[in-house]
Amino acid sequence: MMDVVTIGETMILLEAIDQKPLKYTPFLTKSVGGAESNVAIGLSRLGKSTRWIGRLGNDPFGGMITSILAGEGVDVSHTQRDDKHPTAVYFKDNFGAGDPDIYYYRKGSASSCWSPEHIRDKWFEGGRHLHMTGITPALGEHSFAFTKECMKRARAKGMTVSFDPNIRFKLWEEKKARSALLELIPLCDYFLPGQEEAEFLFGEGEAKYLAERAIQLGVEATVIKMGEKGSFGMLKNGQYVYANPVQTEKIVDTVGAGDAFAAGFLSYAIEGLTASRLKYAMERGNLLGSLIVQSKGDWEALPVIERIENKKVIVR
Ligand code: KDG
């Protein structure tokens, strides 16, 4: 049994080692980042079995990504390598206040060529839950059809599905993004937008209104992530709960906060949700979100289970 399967693009991440802006720094450090693999690592560190499926170039960067993920205990055995298209790269400029600026070099990458013909039934074999995000449908010409088909196939195999819209306006136009995401939401069980993303999709409103709109689209549960205000969750039967935020001492890098939330949330949600379990799941999501923003890196600071259960502080 594989607890969680995630599918998406993981890239090489380059950012300054020093405190200088990207334009001036002579020193870059090389790491990896990808919304879906960040979630897989988070869940693996919480003791869940995870599989990440990506399409990478047949280059040293693809090799670096699979090595790191395998080292984190994530199954990468179904990941595809492409001889003709490279592994994507992105730069993070974390200079100054607020969210870092992101620069993508991913057009024509191996994952942006994804289409439904690449899907294999064995990806879902023994899987319990599939997690995908709105980054994948934004990548290329056929990647919307690819995402839709993955979600449908997982459900046909009896898996539950979660979907984080992860809207990246650098990757697609607003109109296209809205209509595509609204078409994908009904194919998931757990929908996990940030408040701004939910407002982009459903119009401005309070968290309760936004959650009701998602539930009307047929999902089992939805959680509206509100950053420093915590999170608001609703079940299909209309029961709703609020989870307090976890105080953060300092915010260093906000990239990966949503993925950390998803990992914490799913570590409970994959066992099924009642109102009280929904609250626990959201509290764990809030905790992981607050931990990840306090240091550099999209996933490196994700905790191992012993750490959050207060047994011992262990950093892998
Ligand atoms: O959610 C964090 C991701 O945005 C980051 O790891 C890189 O996948 C990424 C993307 O597409 O921005």
pLDDT digits (tens, 9 = 90+) for 194-211: 999 999 999 999 999 999
Which residue's C-alpha comes closest to atom 5 of ligand 1? 34
How sure is the predictor about 6, in pLDDT bands with cuts at 50, 70 and 90? very high
Looking at residue 308, what is its pLDDT? 85
Structural contact between residues 184 and 163, judged by C-beta atoms closer than 8 angstroms: yes
CA angle 259/20/63 to nearest 5° reads: 50
Can you read off the two tokens belonging to residue 11? 């890239």
Backbone φ and ψ of 33, nearest 5° = -160, 145
**Is 83 tagged catalytic?**
no
Please identify, by atom number, the ligand 1 atom nearest to the C-alpha of residue 258: 1
Name every protein residue with a CB atom under 6 angstroms from any ligand 1 atom: 33-35, 38, 102, 135, 166, 168, 255-256, 258-259, 298
Please identify, by atom number, the ligand 1 atom nearest to the C-alpha of residue 259: 1
What's the mean per-residue pLDDT of the chain? Answer: 95
Q: Which position among 3, 164, 259, 298 bears the catalytic label? A: 259
Up-side HSE of residue 57: CA atoms within 13 Å toward CB?
Answer: 16
Pocket test for ligand 1, best of 105, 171, 296, 298 (most atoms within 8 A of CB): 298
Please identify, by atom number, the ligand 1 atom nearest to the C-alpha of residue 106: 11
Structural contact between residues 268 and 277, judged by C-beta atoms closer than 8 angstroms: yes
Looking at residue 236, what is its pLDDT? 98
Residues 94 and 256: their CA atoms lie apart, in Å, by 13
Query: For residue 242, what are the contacts with CB-CB under 8 A and spacing of at least 6?
Result: 230, 231, 232, 233
pLDDT in tens, 301-315: 999 998 888 755 444
Give residue 90 CA to ligand 1 midpoint distance, Å: 9
Prediction ipTM score: 0.96
Structural contact between residues 215 and 190, judged by C-beta atoms closer than 8 angstroms: no
Which residue's C-alpha comes closest to atom 4 of ligand 1? 35
Residue 248 has pLDDT above 90, yes or no: no
Residues 225 and 263: their CA atoms lie apart, in Å, by 13
Backbone φ and ψ of 178, nearest 5° = -60, -50
Which residue's C-alpha comes closest to atom 8 of ligand 1? 34
Give residue 137 CA to ligand 1 midpoint distance, Å: 14
- List the domains of the chain with CATH numbers: 2-6+35-54+71-78+117-306 (3.40.1190.20)
Residue 230 has pLDDT above 90, yes or no: yes
Please identify, by atom number, the ligand 1 atom nearest to the C-alpha of residue 135: 11
Give residue 32 CA to ligand 1 midpoint distance, Å: 10
Looking at residue 313, what is its pLDDT? 46
Please identify, by atom number, the ligand 1 atom nearest to the C-alpha of residue 102: 12
pLDDT in tens, 51-95: 999 999 999 999 999 999 999 999 999 999 999 999 999 999 988
| Residue 221, beta-bridge partner list | 190, 235
Pocket test for ligand 1, best of 14, 15, 31, 38 (most atoms within 8 A of CB): 38
Can you read off the two tokens belonging to residue 21? 């802006």
Using alpha carbons only, how large is the chain's radius of gyration in Å? 18
Rounded percentage of the chain residues whose pLDDT exceeds 70: 98
pLDDT in tens, 9-39: 999 999 999 989 999 999 999 999 999 999 9
Residues 2 and 159: their CA atoms lie apart, in Å, by 11
How sure is the predictor about 138, in pLDDT bands with cuts at 50, 70 and 90? very high
CA–CA distances in Å: residue 258 to residues 34, 59, 177, 225, 277: 12, 29, 18, 8, 19
Pocket test for ligand 1, best of 135, 253, 296 (most atoms within 8 A of CB): 135
